[in-house]
């Protein structure tokens, strides 16, 4: 274990290397990072990677992480999202030092803009957005200067003031940085700093009618907060040149931007736009639908915060495009749940078994005991009632079994988990030939924990006593899409939605201990999978979500 840890410490990701160098050279004594979501959607597992990275780095190297909402576009942002984001970060197990908003800096940002106008590095442009686009050129052709580019400082100051005062209509003017219209980096071709939007902002209300663009807000916000390492995804690489330019021209704290590759997952989509479509067009039941790759969806599904953190840490980060197998997330979820989930017996698709030679004394039944978790000796046991009428899983019986079928078949024996060994004596069918019931006999000396029968059976089945059974609805989830990367397929990504992403079991039969099921507790339905109680449960009925199935090593032919 210690060797393993040492090895892990030795192999740093590229950001850790940069930070260790910075710390060693004395560039910083401690570091500051930030997690900067835009409050216009729910967080997904890609954000979880960023959260674990940013918070993990300051935890490891000393320093702190701010939660900063990048709320510079009032038309798409909302407080509903602010709350969900805070919830998700907390649930993942991280604490931010300061809760901040880019909108907190609107006054300072306005001052920075004036500073640049005064230096002759920004101007008000009256061009329409089409004109700006035309003059911008293309990646292979240089752009051309705007006719408004050479206004005097005084005129720019006056115009910008009047933009702020609300004298102009939306879209009629912008403030642009004066850099180089022929620059090979399109972002350096006089980028827009401010645009006019007469819109209500979720925090500043109607105070402003001009709002800064991302590029004129993000780096400056980092600088104001003295963020040492500003970590973002690869698509911002070309922005770094502009990020540095503004900081240099303004002479403010030199934060630095570093980029890593965003985390992609197979069989799902990750863009907020697409997720929003799934929600709005009702392909899923809200942002927290357990099939969604959102943090709230995965939480509702039963994924644990520690499994997600472990996933993020052990998958690591780098700078190349990637697509992580959904199966890897499931591995970490199972690894975690195996250690903690309470074992219970639940029959999804019942087949009645009558034990013909069992009378169970006066009561006709007996109470057996079964461990809550074989991985956890301290986990205790619970009581499980046994009687002469049981349900087993229909798929655990075959009339004409293949070679290595360890389950029940005519004349074949199996153990009932924590109970007795039984033998199938007779198969009862209805008029159509469908199996409706099995007549079995039990071996009295084979009682679990006191087996003197000497009989060895290969198979062990889960079961539920018919008269003690409790019913509940089960929701079985599968991958949301049929293809690995729906976004790269022909046509609309929604055509590739998996029609079987949700399967309902209207009435599963559960052992009576499930009456005490509580929210947030993980259960392993033996031989079936991990489940959690869903919020749709009510006094009239319990609903369970399948978090993930058990790994299944047996392949029926």
Query: Would you name the residues annotated as active-site residues?
Result: 38, 262, 272
Q: Which of 110, 238, 283, 507 binds RNA (CB under 7 A)?
A: 238
State yes or no: residue 443 binds RNA (CB under 7 A). Answer: no
Interface characters, 139-168, with RNA (x: CB under 7 A)? xx----------------------------
Q: How far is the CB of 401 from RNA (least distance, A)?
A: 8
**Minimum CB distance to RNA smaller for 289 or for 307:** 307
Do the beta carbons of residue 234 and residue 292 sit within 8 Å?
A: no
For the chain, first and last CA: distance in Å?
A: 41
- Stated as kind and residue range, the H or E segment containing 337 is helix 326-340
Stretch that binds RNA, among 82-90, 109-117, 231-239, 426-434 (CB under 7 A): 231-239
Q: Which of 249, 277, 340, 373 binds RNA (CB under 7 A)?
A: 373
Helix, strand, or coil here: 329?
A: helix
Instruction: Give the interface size with RNA as a residue count (CB under 7 A).
Output: 90
Pairing of strands 413-416, 460-461: parallel
Interface characters, 298-337, with RNA (x: CB under 7 A)? ----------------xxxxxxxxxxxx-xx--x--xx--
Is residue 523 classed exposed, middle or buried when 0-12, 13-18 and 19+ CB atoms within 10 A define those classes?
A: buried
Stretch that binds RNA, among 112-120, 172-180, 353-361, 474-482 (CB under 7 A): 172-180
Name the DSSP letter for residue 363: T
State yes or no: residue 412 binds RNA (CB under 7 A). Answer: no
Region 418-437 residues binding RNA, contact defined as CB under 7 A: 418
Name the DSSP letter for residue 73: -
Q: How far is the CB of 498 from RNA (least distance, A)?
A: 19
Stretch that binds RNA, among 54-62, 156-164, 401-409, 493-501 (CB under 7 A): 401-409
Q: Which of 108, 115, 145, 185 binds RNA (CB under 7 A)?
A: 185
State yes or no: residue 49 binds RNA (CB under 7 A). Answer: no
Q: Which of 153, 182, 237, 363 binds RNA (CB under 7 A)?
A: 237
Q: How far is the CB of 424 from RNA (least distance, A)?
A: 14
- Which tokens belong to 36? 């900067």
Q: Which long-range contacts (CB under 8 A, 24 or more apart) does 10-15 make?
A: 13/316, 13/317, 13/318, 14/260, 14/317, 14/318, 14/319, 15/53, 15/57, 15/229, 15/231, 15/258, 15/260, 15/317
Q: How far is the CB of 219 from RNA (least distance, A)?
A: 12
> What gap in Å lies between CA 325 and CA 267, rounded to an integer?
8
Region 257-276 residues binding RNA, contact defined as CB under 7 A: 261
**Minimum CB distance to RNA smaller for 195 or for 299:** 195
> What gap in Å lies between CA 137 and CA 143, rounded to an integer?
4
State yes or no: residue 25 binds RNA (CB under 7 A). Answer: no
Residues in the chain: 557
> What gap in Å lies between CA 439 and CA 425, rounded to an integer?
6
Q: How far is the CB of 325 from RNA (least distance, A)?
A: 4
**Minimum CB distance to RNA smaller for 338 or for 387:** 338
State yes or no: residue 119 binds RNA (CB under 7 A). Answer: no
Among 50, 475, 487, 92, CA closest to 278: 487
């Amino acid at each position: 274990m210690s060797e393993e840890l040492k090895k892990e410490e030795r192999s740093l990701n590229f950001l850790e290397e940069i930070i260790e160098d910075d710390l060693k050279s004395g560039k910083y004594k401690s570091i500051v990072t930030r997690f900067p979501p835009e409050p216009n959607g729910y967080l997904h597992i890609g954000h979880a990677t960023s959260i674990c990275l940013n918070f993990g780095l300051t935890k490891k190297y000393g320093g702190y992480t701010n939660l900063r909402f990048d709320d510079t576009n009032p038309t798409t942002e909302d407080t509903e999202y602010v709350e969900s984001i805070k919830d998700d970060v907390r649930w993942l197990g991280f604490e931010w030092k300061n809760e901040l908003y880019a909108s907190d800096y609107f006054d300072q940002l306005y001052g920075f803009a004036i500073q640049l106008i005064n230096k002759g590095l920004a101007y008000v442009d009256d061009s329409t957005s089409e004109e700006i686009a035309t003059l911008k050129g293309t990646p292979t052709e240089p752009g051309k200067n705007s006719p408004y580019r050479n206004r005097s400082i005084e005129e720019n100051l006056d115009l910008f003031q009047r933009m702020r005062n609300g004298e102009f209509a939306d879209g009629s003017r912008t403030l642009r940085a004066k850099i180089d219209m022929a620059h090979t980096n399109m972002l350096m071709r006089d980028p827009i700093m401010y645009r006019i939007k007469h819109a209500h902002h979720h925090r500043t209300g109607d105070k402003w009618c001009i709002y800064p663009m991302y590029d004129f807000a993000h780096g400056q916000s980092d600088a104001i907060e003295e963020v040492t390492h500003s970590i973002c995804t690869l698509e911002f690489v070309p922005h770094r040149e502009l990020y540095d330019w503004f900081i240099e021209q303004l002479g403010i704290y030199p934060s630095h931007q570093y980029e890593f590759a965003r985390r992609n997952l197979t069989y799902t989509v990750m863009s907020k736009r697409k997720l929003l479509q799934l929600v709005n067009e009702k392909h899923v039941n809200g942002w927290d639908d357990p099939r969604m790759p959102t943090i709230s969806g995965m939480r509702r599904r039963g994924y644990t915060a520690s499994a997600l953190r472990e996933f993020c840490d052990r998958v690591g980060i780098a700078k190349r495009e990637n697509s992580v197998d959904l199966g890897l997330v499931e591995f970490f979820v199972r690894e975690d749940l195996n250690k903690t989930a309470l074992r219970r017996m639940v029959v999804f698709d019942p087949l009645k078994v009558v034990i013909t030679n069992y009378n169970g004394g006066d009561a006709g039944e007996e109470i057996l005991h079964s461990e809550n978790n074989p991985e956890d000796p301290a986990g205790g046991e619970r009581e499980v009632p046994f009687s002469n009428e049981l349900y087993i899983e229909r798929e655990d019986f075959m009339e004409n079994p293949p070679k290595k079928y360890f389950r029940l078949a005519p004349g074949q024996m199996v153990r009932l988990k924590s109970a007795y060994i039984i033998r199938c004596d007779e198969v009862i069918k209805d008029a159509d030939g469908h199996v409706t019931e099995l007549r079995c006999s039990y071996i009295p000396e084979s009682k679990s924990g006191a087996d003197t029968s000497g009989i060895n059976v290969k198979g062990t089945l889960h079961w539920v006593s018919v008269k003690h059974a409790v019913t509940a609805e089960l929701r079985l989830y599968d991958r949301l899409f049929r293809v690995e990367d729906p976004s790269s397929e022909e046509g609309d990504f929604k055509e590739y939605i998996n029609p079987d992403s949700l399967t309902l079991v209207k009435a599963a039969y559960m052992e009576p201990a499930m009456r005490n099921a509580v929210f947030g507790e993980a259960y392993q339905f033996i031989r079936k999978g991990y489940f959690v109680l869903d919020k749709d449960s009510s006094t009239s009925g319990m609903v369970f979500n399948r978090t993930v199935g058990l790994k299944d090593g047996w392949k029926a032919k």
